Chains A and B, each alone.
Chain A
Amino acid sequence: MRFLKSVLLKKSRYKPIMTSKMPASYSIVVESKPSAIVSVFEQIRSKLIDNNFGKDDIFAIHLTLEEAFLNAVKHGNKMDPSKKITVEYSVDADKVEISITDQGPGFKPDAVEDPRFGENLFKPGGRGLLLMNSYMDMVKYNPEGNSVSMIRYKEKPYLTKNKDQQG
């Protein structure tokens, strides 16, 4: 995955001392059916817990994975059971990176209407991309539109002490 590599390379360039501790990236190929995300999320979740990600982060990543994976199964692979979905991810102490690639023809994310306005507010579907964009810090598609790469940085702890002092 081009984006993931460039980020990792960048990191190694700025922090050469950390190279040996660079997180492993994992690549999993799964069947194109909605329930296949369950075991993938469990794997990612255990890595998030190992890296001290909090409940809000885990909720956000869980929701994003569900939305992105279902899009890949339904709209990308069009429920074709012979197709596959590739999930690549890496987790370190600061961030989680995930990419999901289907075997469909791709789509144009800019052409998807905003579900928050007008008639769209009353339509049953069309909210998945909005949620992904809201819960992740970066969401990017490849030019073909069949692969989405996402990053979320770990939520910083809430500094209660400072707030009390201010308040």
Chain B
Amino acid sequence: MATIQPNIGVEYAENATIVSFTDEKILEEKDINSLQESIMSVIEQTEQINLILDFSNVKFLSSAVLGLLIRISKRIYEHNGRLRLCNIDPKIYEIFKITRLTKTFDIYKNIESATKDLSQAD
């Protein structure tokens, strides 16, 4: 089952909720705020959510999006859930490396490997 909300696509797999960013560029504050609202509401809907954020469409983002990811991860951990990021473009992965956020976030190559990791963690 797939539902489309502004700027994200949501898919429910067996042991995880997969949220895909639909925009190629994530920059504007109002977009980031609306993403935050949409994703937080997905987190609230599931108890102890296993959330996979799929970046395959994203080609550009700024540090404001990193702030959004940190707020999302805090909310998930408050709910005893798990967060995995995947399909990150090499240029964007570089931003994660520079800011050392590769140490904070669990980043996987694709949805498959992220899902596999979550099922092993269960």
Q: Do A and B come from one complex?
A: yes
Interface set of A (CB-CB < 8 Å, partner B): 34-35, 56, 59, 62-63, 66-67, 70, 115-117, 121-125, 127-128, 130-131, 134
Residues of A within 8 A of B28 (CB): 34-35
Residue on A nearest B68 in the bound complex, by CB: A124
Residue on A nearest B92 in the bound complex, by CB: A59
Q: Least Cβ distance of B100 to chain A in Å?
A: 4
Number of CB contacts from chain A to chain B under 8 A: 48
Pick the contact of A63: B62, B70, B103 (CB < 8 A).
Answer: B62
B67 engages A131 (CB within 8 Å):
no
Which of A63, A70, A117 counts the most B-chain CB atoms under 10 A from its CB? A63
A56 engages B91 (CB within 8 Å):
yes
User: What DSSP secondary structure best describes chain B's contact surface?
Assistant: helix
A63 engages B95 (CB within 8 Å):
yes
Q: Least Cβ distance of B55 to chain A in Å?
A: 15
Residues of A within 8 A of B103 (CB): 121
Residues of B within 8 A of A122 (CB): 70, 74, 104
Residues of B within 8 A of A70 (CB): 62, 64
Contacting A at CB under 8 A, from B78-95, are: 91, 95
Residues of B within 8 A of A115 (CB): 99
B67 engages A67 (CB within 8 Å):
no
Q: How many residues of B contact A (CB 8 A)?
A: 21
A124 engages B67 (CB within 8 Å):
yes
Tell me whether A123 and B62 are in contact in the complex, defined as CB-CB below 8 angstroms, given that A130-B98, A131-B98, A134-B98 are known contacts.
no
Known: A63-B95, A123-B70, A127-B63. 6 other contacts (CB 8 A): A59-B91, A63-B60, A121-B100, A121-B104, A131-B63, A131-B99
Pick the contact of B100: A34, A59, A116 (CB < 8 A).
Answer: A116
Residues of A within 8 A of B66 (CB): 124, 127
**CA–CA, A134 and B104, complex, Å:** 19
Cβ contacts B83-122/A at 8 Å (1 or 0 each):
0000000010001001111011000000000000000000
**CA–CA, A70 and B67, complex, Å:** 14
**CA–CA, A69 and B64, complex, Å:** 13
Residues of A within 8 A of B95 (CB): 63, 131
**CA–CA, A128 and B95, complex, Å:** 11
A116 engages B63 (CB within 8 Å):
no
Pick the contact of B70: A66, A124, A128, A134 (CB < 8 A).
Answer: A124
